[in-house]
């Protein structure tokens, strides 16, 4: 009996060793294909330079949908289709203006700002008022209507520079952008100025979405560059009664029909079980949406291309989804989850790339501890390619609605230090993306998809 168990253990070890060797060889082929024959960079060039910014509801977003469908049609996939979704249509209008107005000197200083997404406009008269600087929404409650009515609230909480993970710093500051307008409006404020969401001190304003509360008057809101935020703060110290003026011409139009773009390779053994990779096709209107999130879209499509090129026949269905309207509504992600539930589709894992096309570091996931431990066992295969992180966390915004259906969510983690230099700005252009970093990211995602498809996650415990 002892000899039998010894032989059985030896057989298991040998089998595992052969599997690891086979996996290592396949992952090497995946990286060779991505780095020698990759199409993600050229696809990104076309998306950004020929189509450009792709705010949901815009003609450019419609062009991007057709582009995504055509690109996936060339890959020889088993199915490529569009999924209808109604999306908001916000337009920025004429260029914004902003000035610091000194009551003492009578001089006006121009500042760099932009309207926040979904904001109402001021109209040609603009908004002018004294400025009240705060560093958090909770400060509004202490100030109250007596000190805020008729004023412009200036939210000036910066990113925490001590946080190595810049996404954690973003999470600690972004509430003032998302909820600041309604929080200030309930105390009678007439406008909101928000410090841009970035780690860098520069003259570039960062837009981003705000959310109006249903039971509070809507007031216009803008983001101001970090250099100008610091300048405004300093001048308020010297001149507490100075005024600020800004003018915007944005408006929300009627919803527009758009689409998620979907392509898939059918599984040979489990065609009804899906492993999803995706990014969001829409972008803000200021730049070209290269890092956010053109990079994620071309990487998701490249995963399918690599598998097809290498003749890898997955056991499960591998699906790439280019989601529409992540930036100012999340309509595409919600619609996708709604349809998946109605069709009783089983999504094993959903992986999102929405952190830019920078150097790969690894992945995070909401998987159970047992499942995470299983994936951490793959790090020895991935570490030679710079992928050292397999950590507990969450997934991206578009795949979030799938969590309620029992889907394991994962997010691709590139190096985070430069992302918020470009996030939601006019400098998020094709030239800001490094070709090799982008291709390495596609290879990282394809390698993880291969391992998930071949070995599975096991049962949650």
351-390 per-residue burial string, b: 16 or more CB within 10 A, e: under 16: bbbbbbbbbbbbbbbbbbeebbebbeebeebbeebebebb
Q: Do residues 450 and 30 touch, judged by C-beta distance below 8 A?
A: yes
Q: Report how far apart, in Å, the C-alpha atoms of 285 and of each of 60, 95, 116, 254, 323 are.
A: 10, 12, 11, 18, 17
Pairwise CA distance, residues 369 & 460, whole Å: 8
Establish whether 326 is a catalytic residue. Answer: yes
Give the DSSP letter string of 118-152. Answer: TPPP--TT-EEEEEEEESSTHHHHHHHHHHHTTPE
Pairwise CA distance, residues 406 & 346, whole Å: 9
Residue 95 has what DSSP assignment? P
Reference 322, options 118, 117, 83; nearest CA is 83
In the structure encoding, which two tokens stand for residue 137, read together?
Answer: 């929404």
Q: Of 133, 326, 327, 345, which is the active-site residue?
A: 326
Pairwise CA distance, residues 361 & 382, whole Å: 10
In the structure encoding, which two tokens stand for residue 206, read together?
Answer: 């960062």
Give every CB contact of residue 354 below 8 A, 6+ residues apart in sequence. 279, 280, 292, 293, 296, 326, 396, 397, 398, 411
In the structure encoding, which two tokens stand for residue 176, read together?
Answer: 């003032």
E strands along 179-327, which residues? 191-195, 221-224, 243-247, 251-265, 270-280, 316-323
How many C-beta atoms surround the C-beta of residue 96 within 10 A?
24
Reference 397, options 307, 329, 315; nearest CA is 329
Q: Do residues 32 and 26 touch, judged by C-beta distance below 8 A?
A: no
Catalytically annotated residues: 326
């Amino acid at each position: 009996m002892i000899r039998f168990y010894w032989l059985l253990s030896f057989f298991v070890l040998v089998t595992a060793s052969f599997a690891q060797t086979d996996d290592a060889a396949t992952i090497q082929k995946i990286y060779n294909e991505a780095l020698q024959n990759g199409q993600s960079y050229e696809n990104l060039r076309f998306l950004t330079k020929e189509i450009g910014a792709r705010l949901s509801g815009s003609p450019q977003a419609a062009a991007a949908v057709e582009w995504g469908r055509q690109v996936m049609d060339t890959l020889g996939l088993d199915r490529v289709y569009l999924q209808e979704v109604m999306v908001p249509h916000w337009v920025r209008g004429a260029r914004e203006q902003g000035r610091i107005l000194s009551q003492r000197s009578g001089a006006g200083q121009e500042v760099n700002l932009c309207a926040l997404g979904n904001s109402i406009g001021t109209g040609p008269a603009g908004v002018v008022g004294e400025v009240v600087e705060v560093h958090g929404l909770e400060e509004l409650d202490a100030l109250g209507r007596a000190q805020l009515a008729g004023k412009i609230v200036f939210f000036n909480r910066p990113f925490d520079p001590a946080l190595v993970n810049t996404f954690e710093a973003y999470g600690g500051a972004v509430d003032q952008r998302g909820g600041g307008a309604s929080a200030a409006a309930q105390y009678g404020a007439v406008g909101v100025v928000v410090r841009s969401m970035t780690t860098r001190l520069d003259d570039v304003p960062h837009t981003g979405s705000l959310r109006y509360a249903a039971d509070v008057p809507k007031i216009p809101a803008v983001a101001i560059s970090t250099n100008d935020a610091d300048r405004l703060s300093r001048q308020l110290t010297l001149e507490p009664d100075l005024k600020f003026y800004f003018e915007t011409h944005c408006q929300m139009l009627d919803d527009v029909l758009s689409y998620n773009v979907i392509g898939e390779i059918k599984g040979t053994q489990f065609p009804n079980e899906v492993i999803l990779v995706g990014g969001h096709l829409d972008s803000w209107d200021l730049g070209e949406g290269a890092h956010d999130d053109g990079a994620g879209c071309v990487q998701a499509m490249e995963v399918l291309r690599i598998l097809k090129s290498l003749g890898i026949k997955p056991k499960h269905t591998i699906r790439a989804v280019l989601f529409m309207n992540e930036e100012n509504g999340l309509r595409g992600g919600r619609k996708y989850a709604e349809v998946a539930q109605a069709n009783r589709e089983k999504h094993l894992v959903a992986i999102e790339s929405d952190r830019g096309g920078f150097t790969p570091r690894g992945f995070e996931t909401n998987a159970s501890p047992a499942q995470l431990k299983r994936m951490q066992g793959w790090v020895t295969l991935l570490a030679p390619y710079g992928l050292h992180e397999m950590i507990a966390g969450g997934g991206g915004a578009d795949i979030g609605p799938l969590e309620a259906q029992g889907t394991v969510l994962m997010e691709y983690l590139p190096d985070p230090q430069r992302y918020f230099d470009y996030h939601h700005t006019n400098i998020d252009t094709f030239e800001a993306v490094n070709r090799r970093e982008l291709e390495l990211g596609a290879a990282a995602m394809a390698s993880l998809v291969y391992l998930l498809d071949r070995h599975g996650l096991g049962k949650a415990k």
